Chains A and B, each alone.
Chain A
Amino acid sequence: MRKIIIPILVIVCFLSSLKVSGQEKTTNNIKCVDRESGLPLAEVNIRLLTSPVQTLVSDKSGHFSFTLAERTIRMFASKVGYQSLDTLIELNNPVGIFLKMSPANNQLDEVTINTGYQTITKERSVGSFDQISRAKLNEQVGPNLLSRIEAIGNGVSVDRTINSEGRLSIRGLSTINGPRDVLVILDNFPYEGNFENINPNDVESITILKDAAAASIWGVRAGNGVIVITSKKGRLNSPLSANLNLNTTLTGEPDLKMLKLMSASDFIDVEQRLFTAGKYDSEYNSSSRPALSPVVETLYNTALTAQQKTALLDGFRQQDIREQFSKYIYNKAIAQQYALSLNAGGSNYRWIGSAGYDRAKGNLEEKSDRLNLRFDLEYSPLKNLTINTSLGYTSSNQKSGKPGFFDLIGPGGRAYPYLQLADESGNALPLARDYRLSYLSTLDKRLLDWKYYPLTDWGNSQTENEAQDVTINTGLQYKWKGFAVDLKGQFERQNTSTQTLQSLGSYGTRNLINTYTQITPSALVYKVPKGAIDDKSNAVLSSYGLRGQLSYNRIFGQSEVSFLGGAEVREARRESYGFRMYGYNPETLNSSNVDYANSYPSLISSTQGFIPNGVTGSGTNNRYVSLLGNGNYTYRQKYSVYGSIRRDASNLFGVKTNDRWKPLWSAGASWLLSEEAFFKNQDYINFLKLRGSYGFSGNISPSQTAVTTIRYSVISPYTLSETAVIDRYLNPELKWETVRMINFGLDFSAGRQRLSGSIELFFKRGTDLFGPYPVDYTTGVGAIITKNVASMKGTGMDIRLNSVNLKGRLEWTTALNLSTYRDKITDYYTQKTRGSDYVGATPGMVSAIVGMPVYSIFSYKWNGLDNQGDPVGILEGQPSKNYILITGTGSKQEDLVYHGSAVPTLYGNLGNTFSYKDISLTVQLVYKFGYYFRRNSINYSSLNSGAGGHSDYALRWQIPGDEATTNVPAYVYPSVNARDNFYLGSEVLVSRGDHIRLQYITLSYPLIKQGHSKRIKSLEIYGNAANLGILWRDNKEKIDPDYANTNSILPSKTLSLGGRLSF
């Protein structure tokens, strides 16, 4: 009450002192209520747009009052969780005026932003934030939260070429060699656990912090951007309500035909040629009897006639390993998700409890399930004191399944393309893995079967993983006279235990037992016990974070100031250990003793070896101490300035480097144009804000130390003491990376929220970036050392547009996220010496050329094939076949072809939602433009060494004249590595990566709408189809640029069906 009375008194006094003209002033009482439930709303911020502006806050019963002469007044009301109201109120009702506020609608922007340290309103924010609402997140289905961001976030892209697992990056990469992970914050603290443990159904919103003003409050780990995940909380003054979400997802089998595999017949032709040339002779004669393919074994088999050999080979030519995998290994995958949440709230408390259960069986019969339990309570025992507690428990299990397509190991390291997993009767067939099958059949019959049967082996060798995670969040907030003291703590403990049990039937066990068996005429002596092998390991993560925050808010006159200062301490400790038991009996849990101390001869090769003891152990402990502060000053609700500062210290080695950190700071300003007088008179633009920020964030790499560090390794069986290897070399000048970001943004909303969005322009500058620096390796530190070698500059634009195109019976809204990004190296303190330094065969090579994008694609100039099928390049302006020089010192940057950036320069996503009557359909596209990628092709050196071929082999040059129609060089043996490197690095294998992908389609239909039933609040059914493939691509080879890596299989289409019930 006091809060309102004083300003009112001041105003009344002021007004009376001015001797306002004789209009009579009346006191008006207004009650704020929730439009849906009718319950009163406390703590609504009211701004009366009188002159000067009055600010009020509604009390616990939702009332506020003011005295005014005018009869109509423009009023702006806002409250966390509700849509802001901007209305003109007629103050003519003496009974009472109700201000009805609607809960924040999902289609429009949320009013507030959670940075992890504080919640700020959109009006006052100065930094660059992208808010993803719950509704948008829920358009996708699945247990994994972060993978949903790719399709809907602004300024984010997932790169799979530089890192095939897919790495999320925000606004491009700011680092070259440093860590590239985005910092993920869950409920105000950095999340150290497994991302798969977060239940998407518990998430209220996700905020992406993109510029320095937003992210630098997080300090040295925020250089790559920050993602803040906020969990759902209960609602005050609301009766018990429940939400249930159930769904099932079906995933198709992977399409193996897309893999560019060499045909079985072509592969066999090559094997025959190599056999005739005698390539396999040394392997056949080797005392270690390495594995050979069935074709090679057939060719060596002197017991067969030439005709019999041809017949066998022809039989092999008919086989296709992909068909075998489709028939015997891959299946459709199915997953189920169940989620229930209950929440309620009174006037001074609110709570939410949720339970989620996810269960899945994958394409390879692998099983997983996860249980999430969560309870969050916020309670205000006193008016100014709020206590918050949240408990979370996750339990998950995984069980391994069948081997995937790239998991099989065969002769030369790969399974040959004519592999058969089973014969016509379905009996498992062997795959030669470590030893030649024909040799194994000559061994003592008393030994265990030494063959590997991929079809059935997986059932005998299973890995199970169990994890439990307990997270406790507590907080206390005490407000007093503008000050607020916030104490927060988070404790997490995650326990993971893994067991791999290889029974006596598994190949791994039989192989190890046989290897150390000693044969005597009377008996076999087993050095490895005849029984199962059990590997167990356990890892514990325990972390805690404590934060103390003091904030101060004060409004005086036209100005509003707020300050925040805090200190934080964090520790994340991981410990793990593992051991192995031989002769393990899973029923009785007994195991046998093994001699680890002495070496024994391997049965086949006679090399001495030690029986592996499977013992592992490690421990890490990362500790951080931080001091942070920020301040905001707003004048007349229109002009804001902001500053933040943070200093971190950690326990990593390199004390000298720690001391050299400058504090990371940022500053920003914003101008709410739509509050200006010249904007008030028009109705079209509702909201317009201009903002700018400047600041620094850092990138800290725990692995870059300034002193020489060694890593303890195995115990030497000869000296019986610990051995160590060098981990990092002394590098006293090493400094941490710094990223400077300048950001300009314009947020707008026009046409009564029919068009809203933001346009941002940012300039990034990274200095002291880590990079590989080639060193004369005579110094013994290796050929590459990490130094601060580079600076880079990047600029880009992020555009976000939400438009309501059609309203009425047919509604159509569009959400567009578009980002451009261009960067270039400004300094690189090392010289490139060889052509192959620019043209990387492996993706993700840094161009390291001043003026060029950080990740560029360069190629060797191509001059076609000559009349012998050899590729021809250019050396010193002339056609040349001197591949060694072309890929080596003979090529300078000017001699190479520059294509463009290896990462998209224009990217984003586009979502269109159509609603007709009640059915709603969303189509989400993800697009990437303006970049190139290098295709894979045949590598004859790899093919000849048994590491596998590529389907381009079928397109190769074969007879003179073919050079007019093909670019694939002729087959050669003996292999010429430089010739292969030249072809694989030439310009003919580079394509544009531009493509548009149909990410998902979601359809939803409310069976029971809000307000239509007393018992049930709403019932909605929905369906989602995802990974629907590429709609358009620029490369004519029909390659999916995100999965161009030879070892990646395209994700298969998924279909989900589910229902949401709230009551």
Chain B
Amino acid sequence: MKNKHQSKRRLLLIFCLLSALCGCKKFLEEKPDSKLATITSAQDIQALLDNYLKINENDQSVTQVCADDSYLTDAVFNARKETERNLYIWAPSNTFDPTFNSWTDTYSIVYIANLALDHAETLKKNGSEAASLNSIRGEALFHRGREFLNAANAWALDYDAAKASGTLGIPTPQSPDFNIPTVRPNLEQTFLRIVEDLKSSIPLLPAKTQTPYKPSKCAAYGMLARALLYKDDFAGALKYADSCLQLSSALMDYNLLNPASDFPIPRLNSEVIFESKLIPSGQILQSRAYINPELYALYADNDLRKTVLYKRGTLDWVFKGSYDGANGFFSGLATDEILLIRAECLARAGNIGAALSDLNLLRKSRLKASAYTALQANSILEALLLVKKERRMELPFRGLRWMDIKRWNAEGDGITLTRKLNQATYTLEPNSLRYAIAIPEDIIQLSGIAQNPR
């Protein structure tokens, strides 16, 4: 009798244990943190791409610091930390702090784009919603191409089609797997990737989006135009600038802005096609950076930009005309830039009349209505000079000047940058190797890629 009881009890016990174990699996599938998620749906990926603080407000500003839109006084220069001072005087090395610098910022956006593409691929294989995946892939490709272009602007030299396959480009990782070693392709391959990414994004993006924070076809056309301009592919740039302007061509009339206000240009205005901002480096802030007198002298007295973009600081003029509407620096796409791209390409193609008509269209909204007169030019060279001058006056503090100096010096413009500080003079000669800024030294250590030659 007792044995029977014993074995019955034992069986009961085993049964209880087993049933407990079976309930285990479900019990253990509960999420440990409600805010955490693994990437399982298109919504998850979209949430990563919609994180505007990371994706839209982190463009590298090192090219703006190095460009000649502004200068610092001795006192302000001395107050900056060592790496910032080195960057400002175009030192050949030690221009970045380790670990947390513009390289990190640029490539972490690339990572999110790669992660998004990777997961979109997985979701597609699992038979998921193709339509929402398309716009995700389009956004990811756009952001990736855009950031590669920003990186090339800072850490690579000018693009010369003859020499591009022998010039160092910038790394273009296309997978979120961090075990894949980083390599530096040549500049030609770099730009093939940039153009490929931006072109592929076009069919996947909607023509227009509810907010310029999200990329649209129009934005993709514009970004492609900018990239092809860097590459000196003027025919391509013209085509895409045109496509962009067909979708969005509004221009603000500066006559209607109030030059007395702290920040006359409102943010997300009618000209904005895609919104992004530079990292607000201390060396370009309104409280520190004075306007290069050469730049300020370019504006005629009846040019509204003189009072809308600038105001008097303590010792000299300072910048207040960011399309961000406040202290930030707009680096996205706006119709004024696209118009100027088109004008430049038209001029280079020999279509002087069309080029000037674009310039005049812009100037109508930038000059005092009463004082407006149309521009004239008789040769390609004249037209180009006018375009370059207009570009210089229209686009300060957008991170674009560096790229312009590089490519115009390549055709012999001879723009030399000088900075006088603490009784010393620092010069950056045209086409200097230092136009490709030094890559952070710890990246060279960790990855083994080549440093920019000096």
Point out residues on A near B: beta carbons under 8 Å: 277-279, 281-283, 285-288, 548, 550, 567, 569, 601, 605-608, 618-623, 625, 649-653, 702, 707-713, 716, 718-719, 721-727, 729-730, 774-783, 785, 833-834, 884, 888-889, 941, 944, 973-978
A712 pairs with B24, CB closer than 8 A: no
B445 pairs with A833, CB closer than 8 A: yes
Interface with A: B30-38, B235-243, B301-309, which one? B30-38
Task: Kindly list the 3 A-B residue pairs having the minimum CB-CB distance in the complex, ordered from nearest.
Answer: A780-B111, A278-B75, A286-B287
* From A285, A780, A973, contact of B110 by CB (8 A): A780
In the bound complex, CA of A709 to CA of B35 (Å): 10
B37 pairs with A709, CB closer than 8 A: yes
A780 pairs with B114, CB closer than 8 A: yes
In the bound complex, CA of A782 to CA of B103 (Å): 11
Residues of B near A607 (CB, < 8 A) are 326-328
Residues of A near B180 (CB, < 8 A) are 779
* From B28, B48, B171, B447, contact of A710 by CB (8 A): B48
Interface with A: B197-205, B206-214, B252-260, B408-416, which one? B206-214
17 sample A-B contacts, Cβ–Cβ < 8 Å, listed by A number: A278-B75, A285-B287, A286-B285, A621-B30, A621-B34, A622-B32, A623-B32, A651-B29, A702-B32, A710-B38, A710-B47, A719-B211, A721-B50, A776-B178, A779-B173, A782-B104, A889-B441
Residue of B nearest to A728 (CB): B36
Answer whether A606 and B24 are a contact pair too, CB < 8 Å, given A282-B79, A708-B38, A711-B36. Answer: no
Q: Which of B291-327 contact A (CB under 8 A)?
A: 313-314, 325-327
Residues of B near A976 (CB, < 8 A) are 82
Residues of A near B52 (CB, < 8 A) are 716, 718-719, 723
Residues of B near A653 (CB, < 8 A) are 32, 36, 38
Answer whether A774 and B446 are a contact pair too, CB < 8 Å, given A282-B287, A708-B39, A780-B111. Answer: yes
A620 pairs with B327, CB closer than 8 A: no
Is residue B44 contacting chain A, with contact meaning CB distance below 8 A? yes
Residue of A nearest to B328 (CB): A607
Residue of A nearest to B111 (CB): A780
* From A286, A779, A783, contact of B99 by CB (8 A): A783
A779 pairs with B178, CB closer than 8 A: yes
In the bound complex, CA of A725 to CA of B38 (Å): 11
* From A282, A710, A722, A774, contact of B76 by CB (8 A): A282
Count of A-B contacts with CB under 8 A?
Answer: 230
In the bound complex, CA of A649 to CA of B81 (Å): 50
Is residue B196 contacting chain A, with contact meaning CB distance below 8 A? no
Most buried by B among A605, A718, A977: A718
Residues of A near B325 (CB, < 8 A) are 608
Answer whether A621 and B51 are a contact pair too, CB < 8 Å, given A719-B214, A780-B176. Answer: no
In the bound complex, CA of A807 to CA of B103 (Å): 74
Answer whether A283 and B327 are a contact pair too, CB < 8 Å, given A777-B103, A780-B173. Answer: no
In the bound complex, CA of A178 to CA of B48 (Å): 27
* From A548, A623, A783, contact of B30 by CB (8 A): A623
In the bound complex, CA of A960 to CA of B407 (Å): 52
B30 pairs with A721, CB closer than 8 A: no
Q: Which of B2-44 contact A (CB under 8 A)?
A: 13, 16-17, 20, 24, 27-39, 43-44
Residue of A nearest to B114 (CB): A780
Q: Shortest beta-carbon distance, A436 to chain B, in Å? A: 12
Residues of B near A711 (CB, < 8 A) are 35-37
A605 pairs with B327, CB closer than 8 A: yes
Most buried by B among A281, A712, A779: A779
Is residue B85 contacting chain A, with contact meaning CB distance below 8 A? yes
* From A719, A730, A978, contact of B176 by CB (8 A): A730
B85 pairs with A712, CB closer than 8 A: no
A620 pairs with B34, CB closer than 8 A: yes
In the bound complex, CA of A780 to CA of B31 (Å): 26
Residues of B near A973 (CB, < 8 A) are 78
Extra 16 A-B pairs, beta carbons < 8 Å, given A710-B48, A724-B50, A725-B51: A277-B79, A286-B285, A618-B33, A620-B33, A621-B31, A651-B27, A652-B32, A653-B36, A719-B210, A774-B446, A777-B104, A777-B446, A778-B443, A782-B108, A941-B81, A974-B85
Most buried by A among B28, B263, B441: B28
A283 pairs with B182, CB closer than 8 A: no
B51 pairs with A713, CB closer than 8 A: yes
A726 pairs with B112, CB closer than 8 A: yes
Is residue B121 contacting chain A, with contact meaning CB distance below 8 A? no
Residues of B near A778 (CB, < 8 A) are 103, 107, 171, 173, 182, 443, 447, 449
B287 pairs with A651, CB closer than 8 A: no
Most buried by A among B28, B79, B446: B79
Is residue B365 contacting chain A, with contact meaning CB distance below 8 A? no
* From B34, B171, B267, contact of A618 by CB (8 A): B34
A722 pairs with B79, CB closer than 8 A: no
Q: Shortest beta-carbon distance, B284 to chain A, in Å? A: 12
Q: Shortest beta-carbon distance, A32 to chain B, in Å? A: 32
Residues of A near B99 (CB, < 8 A) are 777, 783
In the bound complex, CA of A978 to CA of B328 (Å): 30
A977 pairs with B32, CB closer than 8 A: no
Is residue B288 contacting chain A, with contact meaning CB distance below 8 A? yes
Q: Which of B101-138 contact A (CB under 8 A)?
A: 103-104, 107-112, 114-115
Residues of B near A281 (CB, < 8 A) are 73, 75-76, 314
In the bound complex, CA of A716 to CA of B211 (Å): 11
* From A723, A779, A889, contact of B107 by CB (8 A): A779
Q: Shortest beta-carbon distance, A973 to chain B, in Å? A: 7
* From A606, A650, A718, A975, contact of B28 by CB (8 A): A650
Residues of A near B54 (CB, < 8 A) are 725
* From B39, B76, B82, B213, contact of A977 by CB (8 A): B82
B30 pairs with A710, CB closer than 8 A: no
A727 pairs with B36, CB closer than 8 A: yes
In the bound complex, CA of A550 to CA of B6 (Å): 13
Answer whether A726 and B48 are a contact pair too, CB < 8 Å, given A569-B27, A623-B30. Answer: yes
Residue of B nearest to A279 (CB): B79
B79 pairs with A833, CB closer than 8 A: no
B263 pairs with A606, CB closer than 8 A: yes
A723 pairs with B446, CB closer than 8 A: no
Is residue B286 contacting chain A, with contact meaning CB distance below 8 A? yes
Is residue B74 contacting chain A, with contact meaning CB distance below 8 A? yes
Q: Shortest beta-carbon distance, B387 to chain A, in Å? A: 33
Q: Shortest beta-carbon distance, A214 to chain B, in Å? A: 26
In the bound complex, CA of A779 to CA of B328 (Å): 28
In the bound complex, CA of A975 to CA of B182 (Å): 35
Residues of A near B44 (CB, < 8 A) are 710, 724
Is residue B94 contacting chain A, with contact meaning CB distance below 8 A? yes
Answer whether A888 and B78 are a contact pair too, CB < 8 Å, given A653-B32, A716-B51, A781-B178. Answer: no
Q: Which of B61-94 contact A (CB under 8 A)?
A: 73-82, 85, 94
A775 pairs with B35, CB closer than 8 A: no
B28 pairs with A884, CB closer than 8 A: no
B326 pairs with A649, CB closer than 8 A: no
A712 pairs with B35, CB closer than 8 A: yes
* From A550, A622, A723, contact of B13 by CB (8 A): A550
Residues of B near A944 (CB, < 8 A) are 79
B37 pairs with A277, CB closer than 8 A: no
Residues of A near B110 (CB, < 8 A) are 780
A977 pairs with B81, CB closer than 8 A: yes
In the bound complex, CA of A601 to CA of B262 (Å): 11
* From A283, A625, A721, contact of B46 by CB (8 A): A721
